[in-house]
Structure formats: C-alpha cells, structure tokens
Amino acid sequence: MSMNSGHRQLLLLFSLVLLHVFMVVPGFFAPYDYSEQNRELPFSPPTRLHFIDSAGRFHLMPFIHPFRASEDGSAPYVEDQARAYPLHLLKDGAPYRVLGLWTARLHLFGVEQPGRIFLFGTDDFGRDELSRMLFGGRISLLAGILGAAMAIFAGAVLGVLSGFYGGWLDGLIMRTAELFLALPWLYLLFAVRAILPLHIKTTQTLLLLITVVGLVGWARPGRLVRGIVLSAKERNFALAAKAMGASNFHVLRWHILPGTYGVLLTTAALLVPQFILAEVTLSFLGLGVGEPVPSWGSLLAELQNYSVLTSYWWMYLPACSLIVLFLTYHWASTTLQDKVAEVRS
C-alpha cells in the first residue's frame, strides 16, 4: 500500500471520527432501543441478509426471513421462508434522544413490523445486540474520553502550578503524585469506585463515577507537564518576556503552555483507551452502570455463562469492537508521537 504519510494520517483521522460518530447518535444507527425485549427470541443468531429470493430473482435491496423456533431441535432457530421483509433505509422507528436535547424517530435502517432485524443476534432477553453495542459503545467511549480529559486537566493544572511556582507547593504536589502512583492502577480504581454508591442507575451517576476516576489519574500527566514547565521557565525567551515586564499569566500563556500541548495530546491518545478499559472492566465486574443500560463490559460479562461462552459466537462481537478501537487509538498515538517529535526538531 503505497500511501504517503499525509494520506495515512487522513485515513487515521477518518477512522477515528467514524468510530466516534456512532457515539454521538447511537439511536440513529441502531434499529431498536437497547432495552426493547423480544422474549420469544432469546439468543437468536444474526439475521441473514438475502439478495436472491426463492424464485431466483435478484433484489437490490436485501430482505430478511424472520427466525422461528425450529420443530426438530437440530438448531434452536430456523428461517421462516414463508415470510420476507425487505430492508428499508432511513426508516421511522422507536424514539430516541439526540444529545439529550430533542427526540427523533429516524433510524438508518429497519424492517417493517412484525419483522425483526438482528444484525448481531440477540441476548438472553431477545434484545438486539447491535443496538446494545451501539448504545453501550457510547457509554464506554464517553467514559474513556471524559476520564482522559479529567486526568489531563487535573494533571495540567497541578503540573503548571508545581513547575511554575516551585517551592513548597511543588514539593507537596509531587509527593502526592508519588502517593497516587504507588497504588496499583486497578486497585486505585477500585478504591475510588468504592466511594460512590454501589448501584448506579443512571448515566449521570456513571459520568460522576468517570469524573472521579479520571481525576485520580492526574499523576502521570502532571509530572510530564511539570517537567516541561520547569525547563520552559528557564528558557531565554521566557526570561526575555519577564524582563520586558510580562505578568506571570502572559509568560504562561505565550511561552510555557504552548510547549505542553504536544505532550498533552500524545498523553490523551494513550489515556483514552486506558480509561475505556477501566470502564469496561468495572462494568464487567458489575461495578459499572446497572441494568438496563448496556456497556461493553456488561455485554462481555454475559460470556461468563457457560452456555453463552460456548454456543453463541455473536456475543463475542463487543470484544472485536474493543480490539478495533484499541488498535485505532494505538495507531493514532504512534502517529501523534511521530508528529510531535517532528515539530520539536
């Protein structure tokens, strides 16, 4: 693949944006609401899309056969060939909220009632896995970004205070950072999680959880920022500004802070996956947001059940999306690191 680095970077940016677009309006991309149950179709396999019907005709728009319980028990479900529902694009469906502001009903695709399209199969309660993955992805991605933002914000503020003013403040902040770094990350997570109520019912509480968790991760970014501020403070151009009568605020804004942006960006690319994983881990262990709000962690937790683990392969799909997400972020962080090193030289 002979793509020059500029094209590669664009592709990377595009992939990242695409992954995150689902996060903004999962309701549009998901055919159903995450809590909509179909008790008669537990653990249904993914619906198959057909382009050629039984008479051999080709349709541009694929259609589906709904599943029904099979008579002979060879497989739990068989396709009901007697009924067919074409796929519709931009169809009206269950209402959902956009950014919490207004309600919409338009979905990217769907089928006529009583047809059901389960592109990723269903879970124990017959809930569409694709819809649950999209809504759950929102939670996990939001957690990752919010957590990383909190950690970076807290780290930047404390790092600047520590590096710029020095003295006892620096000593205090750095000793505290050491303390936070001396606790193993997962256990620190647990300890902080323990402060909040055990059962989280709403997304709001989850965001609160993530904020607290994020703030706890300030130590590494803080030390990095402090290092940069310490060296920038003594550079001649900063001293020149002071000699010209610049206020501390001016020196910070014009000369010191711009030097931190590169490091903060690369740290962000490293922290976001870390915090996504933190939320997924907590949800997996039952410490995240509770039913019925899905999270990739709680979706994966169903795999701890023996029959789910061995029989229903589509329940592994959240794991695939996690892996794809991490690979993309890893790619982003190496690209960013190269870019920052380039700018510095």
Partner 1 sequence: MVRVARRILHGLLLLLGVSTLSFVLVSAAPGNFFDELKLNPQISASTVASLKMAYGIDKPWPVRYERWLRSALRGEFGYSLSYRCPVGTLLWPRAQNTLLLTSLATLLAWMIAVPWGILEALNRGKWLDRIGGGVTAIFLAIPELVLGLLFLLLAARTGWFPTGGMFSSHGAEAALLGKLPDLGIHLVLPVVALVFGAAPLLIRYVRSAVAAVLDAPFIEAARGHGLSTTRIVYRHALPAAANSLISLLGFSIGALLSTSLIIEVVLDWPGLGPLVLESLLARDTYVVMAVVMLSSVFLVTGNLLADLLLYASDPRIRTV
Partner 2 sequence: MTAEVQNHLDTSRELLCVRELSLEYLRRNPFAAVRIETAALRDVSFDLRTGETLALVGPSGSGKSSLARCLVLLERPSTGRILYGGQDILTLSPDALKAVRKEIHLVFQDSASALNPRRTVEQLVAEPLVIHDAASGARKIKERVAEVLDQVELGNSWRCHRPRELSGGQRQRVAIARALVLRPKLLILDEALSSLDLSAQAQIANLLLDLQERHSLAYVYVTHDVRMAGCLAHEVALLDAGRIVYRGLPAEVLTPNLQPVS
Contact window for partner 2 (CB under 8 A) among 48-56, 74-82, 252-260, 319-327: 252-260
Pair 194, 187: CB distance under 8 Å: no
Q: Residue 236 binds which entry of partner 2, partner 1, none, with Cβ cut-offs from 5 to 8 Å by kind?
A: partner 2
Contact 188, 172 (CB under 8 A): no
Among partner 1, partner 2, none, residue 109 binds (CB under 5-8 Å by kind): none
169 binds, among partner 2, partner 1, none (CB under 5 to 8 A by kind): none
Q: Please say which residue, 94 or 340, places its beta carbon nearer to partner 1.
A: 340
Stretch that binds partner 2, among 22-30, 108-116, 229-237, 300-308 (CB under 8 A): 229-237
- Indicate the residue among 65 and 193 with the shorter CB distance to partner 1: 193
Q: Can residue 95 be called a binding residue for partner 2 (CB under 8 A)?
A: no
Q: Is 285 in the site for partner 1 (CB under 8 A)?
A: yes
Work out which of 78, 241, 303, 319 binds partner 2, going by CB under 8 A.
Answer: 241
Considering beta carbons, is residue 145 or 160 the nearer one to partner 2?
160
Question: Cβ neighbours of residue 72 under 8 Å, at least 6 residues apart?
Answer: none
What is the sign of the dihedral through the CA atoms of 26, 31, 32 and 38?
A: negative
Q: How many residues bind partner 2 (CB under 8 A)?
A: 16
Residues 194-253 that bind partner 1 (CB under 8 A): 194-198
Q: How many CB atoms lie within 10 A of CB 73?
A: 7
Answer whether 242's CB lies under 8 Å from 251's CB: yes
Q: Which is nearer to partner 1, 36 or 123 (CB)?
A: 123
Residue 249 interacting with partner 2 (CB under 8 A) = no
For residue 274, count other CB atoms closer than 10 A to its CB: 16
Partner touching 198 among partner 2, partner 1, none, CB below 5 to 8 Å by kind: partner 1
Residue 168 binds partner 1, judged by CB under 8 A: no
Taking CB within 5 to 8 Å according to partner kind, which of partner 1, partner 2, none is near residue 326? partner 1
Q: Which entry of partner 2, partner 1, none binds 195, CB below 5 to 8 A by partner kind? A: partner 1
Q: Could you tell me the smallest distance in angstroms from the CB atom of residue 273 to partner 1?
A: 8
- The contact mask relative to partner 1 for 294-313 (x = CB under 8 A, - = no) is ---x--x--xx-x--xx---
State in Å, rounded, how far the first CA of the chain is from the last one.
28
Both structure tokens of 190: 């647990």
Binding string, 170-189, against partner 1, x = CB under 8 A?
-----x--xxx-xxxxxx--
Measure the CA–CA gap between 10 and 15, rounded to whole angstroms.
9
Which residues of this chain interact with partner 1, rule CB under 8 A? 175, 178-180, 182-187, 190-198, 277, 280-281, 284-287, 297, 300, 303-304, 306, 309-310, 316, 319, 322-323, 326-327, 330
Which residues of this chain interact with partner 2, rule CB under 8 A? 235-237, 239-247, 250, 254-255, 258
